[in-house]
Structure formats: C-alpha cells, structure tokens
Structure 1
Amino acid sequence: MAEEQAPTTNGSGEAAGDAQQVQFAMQRIYIKDLSFEAPMGAEAFRKQWKPSINQELNTKASKIEDNLYEVVLTLTVTVKLEEETAFLVEVQQGGAFAIAGLEGQQLAQALNTACPQILFPYAREAIDSAVVKGSFPALMLPPVNFDALFAQAVAQAKQKAESVATN
C-alpha cells in the first residue's frame, strides 16, 4: 500500500517550488586590509597599563554579480595611555556571500546584520592577533548586536526622510 504525500506549501497555499526559495551561503572570508601602528614604540611598555579603548565599526556591502555580494566589515580600535596613542589597529574583514530570494528591506537586513555577524569573529581574532604580535596585552572585544545597529540606522534614516519631507 503506497502512501501519498501532500505537496509542501509555503504557508500561503502555493506549492513551495512555485515561490523562489531563500538561499544564503558564505562563499569566502578573507582579510582585505590589516594595519597595526604603535606610535609610542617601547615607551608604551614603560607606562602603567590603564588604557582607554575606542572601537569604531562600519560595514559596506556591494553587489559583485547576480546573487553574489561582497560585505566588508571595518573594525578600528585605538588604544590610548593617558592622551597618547599606544596602538591603533584596523582590519577590513571581507566576505563573499551568495544570497538569493531576498529583496529590498530583507536583503538590506541580511547584508547589514547576518553577514557582519559572520565576519565579526574573524575580524576580532585578526585584531587580537595583531595586538599580541605587537607585544601588547590581548584585546578581547565584546560581541556586537548588528540587528540593533541596523534597526537604529533604519530609524535614523526614516526620521531624516520625514524631516526633509516636512521642510
């Protein structure tokens, strides 16, 4: 006795094969640029280690070809002792991502949240490695909530558009 299987649906009654399936795949992760500077040199090692740490984060996404995107996460960390820069390290962590089945806001969210979330641990490790090789104490950067950053950017863009429309 053979069993019949009902066609799989996507929740709207359409067969799942009729609608384009969402595809998300990391193709490659790479360091696009890495820079380490220790302008104080050996003087930094003679001072008491009470650093002030400034972290800057930026993401940029660009389309390479249909359904293939490059996302670059730029992470810059400046560490100062008193008012002098002990070291500055910057990494541009790149990734190529195959993304299909997303458009508009959903695609923007994937490029600005999911992709950087994948890249961040690699960027953090590259920064930490450069810092340790510079003979400074390990730098453990805290996790970043890319969803919250994206929501904040969308809200700011919406607010800016509304203020331009009212003027």
Structure 2
Amino acid sequence: MAEHEQQPTERQFSVQRVYAKDVSFEAPNAPEIFRGEWKPKHDLNLTTKINHLDEHLYEVVLSVTVSAMVGEKTAFIVEVQQAGIFSLNGFSEAELGPMLGAYCPTLLFPYAREVVSDLVVKGSFPQLVLQHVNFDALFAQHQQQALEQSQAGGVTPSQH
C-alpha cells in the first residue's frame, strides 16, 4: 500500500479553449503601395505570455507581429494574439516551463499563421504563409540567455 501512495500523480494535459484574443491589420500606405513593384521585406516578431489562471489552469498568449516593407514604406502590419487555455496537472516545475513556453505555443502557432494569412489576403496583398517555428529551440535559447544573465549578475558588459 505504501508503494502505491508514493507514485507520482499521473500527468494530464488538455486544451480547454483556443481563441483569437486580439487581431489587428494596418495598410498605412494603401492605395499607393499597390502601384509599385511588389518586392517586400518581411519582419516577424514572436512573444509568449503565460498567465496562471487557477491551480492547474494556464492561459498562454502567442503574439505574432508581421510587417512588410517595400523600400522605405510600410505595406502592412499584422498583429495577432492567439491564446489558449490549457490544463496541466501532475507536471513538475521543471516540466511546466517547456510545456507552457514551447509545447503550448507550438499548438497555437498554426491558428495564428492562418489568421495572419487570411488578413494579408483580405488586405489585397499576395498570400503570406509563415514558415514553421521551432519553439523548443526558441525556449532553450531564452533559458540559456536567462542563465547567462543571472551568472553575470544581470550586469551588461560595457561597450568600448
């Protein structure tokens, strides 16, 4: 009986809800931007925010911002906050970080990619399909940067 009581809680993960939290599309230089040659330079920015809602309930918000420049002019800016509510039970503190910081954003990204693509097309621009993002690698990179900063005492090196 004592052996049974010492077994760790079984890990349980479920997606409670996936939703668009905030969506924005701007084409500040339309209609002039449509008259020139279409050779845009795209910039992608990703951030993740985690909100602890309840004992085992978390909201993860993946923010995706895509801007397209043609020369010096902004063709469009798309901002999407794709969110999900996730239930995680039985995970250690060490496991929660990768689950919330990498696994959940990986689940949310296809939804955000679809919203970005739809908005760009509805803005009368050629379809834009974002490439897959390796959130595991981004999370590991973020953890490494945080470790380096803590080892350096949070002091940034002086520039010469």
TM-score surpassing 0.5? yes
In our comparison, the structure showing a higher alpha carbon Rg is 1
In 1, the alpha carbon distance for the partners of 2:61 and 2:128 equals 21
1:55 is aligned with what amino acid? L
Aligned to 1:3: none
In 2, the alpha carbon distance for the partners of 1:165 and 1:127 equals 36
Q: Deviations over 1:115-162 (max 9, x none)?
A: 000000000000000110111000011100000001101111111111
Unmatched 5+ stretches in structure 2? none
Change (3 A) 1:166 1:93: closer
Aligned to 1:101: 90
Aligned residues: 154
Unmatched 5+ stretches in structure 1? 1-13
Shift of 1:166: 9.4
Change (3 A) 1:76 1:101: same
1:128 is aligned with what amino acid? S
Task: Find runs of 4+ consecutive structure 1 residues off by over 3 angstroms.
Answer: 14-17
Aligned to 2:7: 18
Shift of 1:102: 1.1
Change (3 A) 1:43 1:152: same
Tell me which of 15, 19, 29 is aligned to 1:30.
19
1:86 is aligned with what amino acid? A
**Could you tell me the TM-score, scaled by structure 2's length?**
0.92
In 1, the alpha carbon distance for the partners of 2:24 and 2:66 equals 11
Paired-residue identity, %: 47
Q: Does 1:45 align with 2:34?
A: yes
Q: Does 1:115 align with 2:120?
A: no
Tell me which of 61, 72, 84 is aligned to 2:73.
84
